[in-house]
Structure 1
Amino acid sequence: MTAEPFQGLNAISEPGAFTELDRFMFESWGYLVIPGVLSAEQTKACLEAATRLHEQEGTTGWAQVGRGFETEQVLEDLIDHPAVLPKVRALYGVRFILQSAWCTKQPAFGGFGGWHQDGSGAYDFKQLSYPIPLLQLRASYLLTDQSLPRMGNMEMIPGSHRAQVPLPADIRREKGDVPIGQVICAPAGSVLLFHNAVWHRTFAHDGDYDRYTMHYIYSPPWVRFSDRFANDKDYLARTTPVRRYLAGEFERPDAPFGAGYPAKAFED
């Protein structure tokens, strides 16, 4: 059995403000799809930057490269994109950081990925509480077309961030299909915004080209970086105040995250 996308059943959101309907859909399913975030020209520029990152690292097969925003301006510009950041702020408030930014490549004719929830290999998030808290909010920019199944799409299990039991081990071990999986079909330039606890996997990719996605992961300010040990000083010197704040570089005159933590960095 091969999973197919649900026709007419998608948690579609508009760029910009986080509406009451957005909140209901996100709480119910654990994710939103935001079409039309990037223009064709912006998508092309970001795809070229993503390709450069992997060429510079010499990656092969499925691979991911972190912190590309420090060297690629077009990828830096996505950190606080006005189509997405208002939704992140609505879910987190004004105190959060960019925990990591991973550029992933699924190679041509790539197979299925394994089912998983996002989190930390050092400490499983499900040990914290039920439901699993929002500790990694991922904004995934699709840089190659995924408007049909088997184009390296993400497959999500709607509402699984609220499940009290794990996905069966045999399905995870065999990378098996589930009847409630939804293959996310959206054109290049779209964004998939999702909760770390939603069960998901990479769907098969039948194309003769590499599939690229740029992931920005936002977290509470006390979560450690996962794509870098420290921020690049040259990047911090030239970037904007808001992006420096999201990089986790702020004044702490008394103690980490104590009374000296700035109230907000956003102008509105």
Structure 2
Amino acid sequence: MLDPVVEPGELTELDRFIFESWGYFIIPDVLNQDEIRSVLEASQRLHSGHKGVFQQVGNGFEREPSIERLLDHPAVLPKVRGLYQSDNVIVQAAWCTLQPAHGKTGGWHQDGSSAFDFRQLGYPIPLLQLRVSYLLTDQTRPGMGNLELIPGSHRSRVPLPEHVRTEHAETPISHIVCAPAGSALVFHNAVWHRAYEHNEDYDRYTMHFVYSPPWMRYADRFENTEAFLARTTPVRRGLMGDLSKPDAAYAGGYHTPPYLP
């Protein structure tokens, strides 16, 4: 099986070509064992009391320091900035997802807004939600709650057939991403994807961060709390979309977050 694996850090020309061709790539070994354990334990706290169904919890970075540290992870953030070709991006959402033990395969979908289909904006569907998914449990073989994607589908002029979506059917060109815990999967909002079946006796956890242009509305919160903005770093405040201008936010330009060189 071909795997679009790239090295951590700066976005290279080959990285960009892989992303434009497939719509996603995998960065291995982003988190070490201590980081995996810490973020996994934080995720389990966020989902305490779950009832054995698929669920997601947003805005966990305000409560869990180990999740907050992933906002600007040095192995990943340069890829985000490179793919957008801009420093003016925000974290639109941060979803911690749980697929329960023996969970079934989910439905095919593209990411976007249920309020407005991104497909209406034009072809190709623009990059408005770049998702970075940190694997917190092992997914080295199929049937471990992997993400299944259709390579290159972000460029398709036609949608996935309705019967494939409604019947959760297989396709001959899908790719079940197999990678160990600590890997990061980076993918375009328009790639058709779904959660694959999870046949293990433990719950599967993945920490997703969605990076967007600064004018996108938050998806996992209504606003950032003042307490969090006051205690976090300048870079993370920038990623929250914290603007210093008291007037119209974008009329006179946007204050670029203070990234390190």
TM range (shorter): over 0.9
**Distance in 2 (alpha carbons) for counterparts of 1:109 and 1:58:** 15
Once residues 165 and 82 of structure 1 are traced to their aligned partners in structure 2, the CA distance between those partners, rounded to angstroms, is 36
Q: Residue 150 of structure 1 contacts residue 204 of structure 1 at CA under 8 Å; is this kept in 2? A: yes
Q: Kindly indicate whether residue 81 of structure 2 is the aligned counterpart of residue 89 of structure 1.
A: yes
Gap change, CA 1:181 and 1:260, over 3 Å in 2? closer
Which residue number corresponds to residue 3 of structure 1? none
Whether contact under 8 Å (1:115, 1:172) holds in the other structure is yes
Question: After TM superposition, what 4+ stretches of structure 1 lie above 2 angstroms from structure 2?
Answer: 57-60
Correspondence for 1:186: 179
Paired residues for 1:217-256 under 5 Å? 217-256=210-249
Amino acid at match of 1:13: V
- CA shift in 2, pair 1:226/1:21, >3 Å: same
1:28 matched to 2:30: no
C-alpha distance in 1 between matches for 2:8 and 2:74: 8
- SS in structure 2 opposite 1:131? coil
- Letter of the structure 1 residue corresponding to residue 155 of structure 2: R
Q: Does 1:74 align with 2:66?
A: yes
Give the TM-score normalised by the residue count of structure 1: 0.95
Percent identity over the alignment is 60
Contact 1:144 1:212 in 2 (8 A): yes
Contact preservation (8 Å) 2:142, 2:176: yes
Q: Is the 8 A contact 2:238 2:257 kept in 1?
A: no
Partner of 2:54: 62
Q: Distance in 1 between matches of 2:33 and 2:111?
A: 29
Matched AA of 1:151:
M
Q: Which residue of 1 aligns with 2:32?
A: 39
TM-score for the superposition, normalised by structure 2: 0.97
Contact map agreement 1:252 1:260 (CA 8 A) in 2: no
Offset, 1:214: 0.2
Give the alignment partner of residue 199 of structure 2, picking from 195, 199, 206.
206
Partner of 2:252: 259
C-alpha RMSD of the superposition: 1.0
Q: What CA distance in whole angstroms lies between the structure 2 residues aligned with 1:131 and 1:204?
A: 30
Residues 239-265 of structure 1 show CA distances to partners (whole Å, capped at 9, x for unaligned) of 001101111111124422122521442
Runs (5+) with no aligned partner, structure 2: none
Q: Distance in 2 between matches of 1:233 and 1:254?
A: 18
Note the C-alpha offset of 1:201: 0.4
For residues 50-85 of structure 1, what are the alpha-carbon distances to aligned partners after superposition, in whole Å with 9 as ceiling and x for unaligned? Answer: 000000x64541000000000100000000000000
Q: Is the 8 A contact 1:252 1:258 kept in 2?
A: no
Paired residues for 1:134-213 under 5 Å:
134-213=127-206
